[in-house]
Amino acid sequence: MKILVVNNMVPGMRGGAEELADQLVLNLRKAGHESELLRVPFTWEPAERIVEEMVMCRNMQINNVDRVIAMKFPAYMIPFPEKVLWLAHQYRQAYDLWDAGQSNIADTPEGRQIRAAIIEADNAAFEPVKDIFVVGRTVQERLLHYNRLQSTVLRAPLNDETMYPGGPYGDYVFAGGRINSGKRQHRLIEAMARLPGTGRLVIAGPADTPGDADRLRALVEKHRLGDRVTLDIGFLPRQKIADYANNALACAYLPFAEDSYGYVTMEACQARKAVLTVNDSGDLTELIHDGVHGWVCDDDTDQLAAALSELFANRARTVELGNAAHAHWTGKNINWTTTVEALAR
């Protein structure tokens, strides 16, 4: 079968959804399909531009393929009769982030019109879709709540589990992934400032904006943590990220309402590392249970500091939780063979 995967792209930005699209194409090819990736340029600033982006996608024509697998807003609005949705992201600023007061769409008459246009266009795009799969329970619940649509959870597999065999348990907590306010790496720095001079924190990954990187640097300087907090900001080779995870004592990931388990979490579990997260992190709380596979705290600096203090002080317990996280993750048997079969059936 000739299968086209459609996804968005923002120049200079790359995250889990982009990695997922690449891996989907690769594994479709391994399964014997002809597959390519179409990356549609997308910008959400200013918010008024979003309507034009939707119109552009709705006016595109796709030919010479048997099926389209669409993953993100607004790329999933590209019309095609044989289209399957594997939903990684809607435009959350029109949905839960709007309700949470974290949207870039202004709460003005014009902004409310933009939000209404996004929801209406989503509903129109979803209605004729052959199958709707979603990458996690949080996406499923959001789609049902706001769009009244049923869907099937089809979780994203780990890309290359052989890169995460685990390794020596070092003296640091590793916090990987994209750097922005929604991932809350700043909370970890603030928590480290409340600990005595034991243990280290390594934050590594690309910053969404220069301001996101500057904020972390300023916090490290403010709290005089230069000898205990390492900032490795930028697009890093996959092997370097894997090395950080494999040699950490534990890993930390603090996103707000994450749509899936997240690569950071899956890689940590594969590498037998306990995970520190927060109770509003979305799907992570389905994989990481407090006191079983790591620590699940409130979004509170004191609680995060207490968890960090515990994991550094009781290394044996931290290793035990990491082994439990590995068993829990691998027991789910999430793999590319069954994923491709579902999307291409």
Q: Using CA atoms, how far apart are residues 86 and 135, in angstroms rounded to an integer?
A: 7
Q: Using CA atoms, how far apart are residues 207 and 175, in angstroms rounded to an integer?
A: 13
**Helices 315-330 and 263-270 sit at what angle, rounded to 10 degrees?**
110
- Reduced to 3 states, what is the DSSP secondary structure of residue 216? helix
Please write the tens of the pLDDT for every residue from 328-341: 999 999 999 999 99
Residue 130: the pLDDT is: 82
**What is the pTM (predicted TM-score) of this model?**
0.85
Is there a contact between 27 and 336 (Cβ–Cβ < 8 Å)? Answer: yes
**Phi, psi (degrees; rounded to nearest 5) at 302:** -65, -40
**Cα–Cα nearest to 69, from 110, 14, 129, 9:** 129
Residue 326: the pLDDT is: 98
Residue 18: the pLDDT is: 84
Please write the tens of the pLDDT for every residue from 104-123: 999 999 999 999 999 999 99
In this predicted structure, the answer to whether residue 14 has a pLDDT above a threshold of 90 is: no
| Structure tokens belonging to residue 21 | 């699209």
Q: Using CA atoms, how far apart are residues 93 and 96, in angstroms rounded to an integer?
A: 7
Q: Using CA atoms, how far apart are residues 25 and 340, in angstroms rounded to an integer?
A: 10
Residue 44: the pLDDT is: 81
**Phi, psi (degrees; rounded to nearest 5) at 278:** -125, 160
Residue 159: the pLDDT is: 85
Residue 206: the pLDDT is: 93
Q: What percent of the chain has pLDDT over 70?
A: 99
Please write the tens of the pLDDT for every residue from 279-312: 999 999 999 999 999 999 999 999 999 999 999 9
Residue 47: the pLDDT is: 86
Provide mean pLDDT across the span 160-165: 93
Residue 176: the pLDDT is: 97
**Cα–Cα nearest to 202, from 235, 250, 169:** 250
Q: What percent of the chain has pLDDT over 90?
A: 85
In this predicted structure, the answer to whether residue 11 has a pLDDT above a threshold of 80 is: no
In the chain, the domains with their CATH numbers are 2-154 (3.40.50.2000), 161-330 (3.40.50.2000)
Residue 274: the pLDDT is: 99
Helical H runs in the chain? 16-30, 49-58, 96-99, 109-126, 137-147, 185-192, 210-222, 238-246, 263-270, 284-287, 301-313, 315-330, 336-344
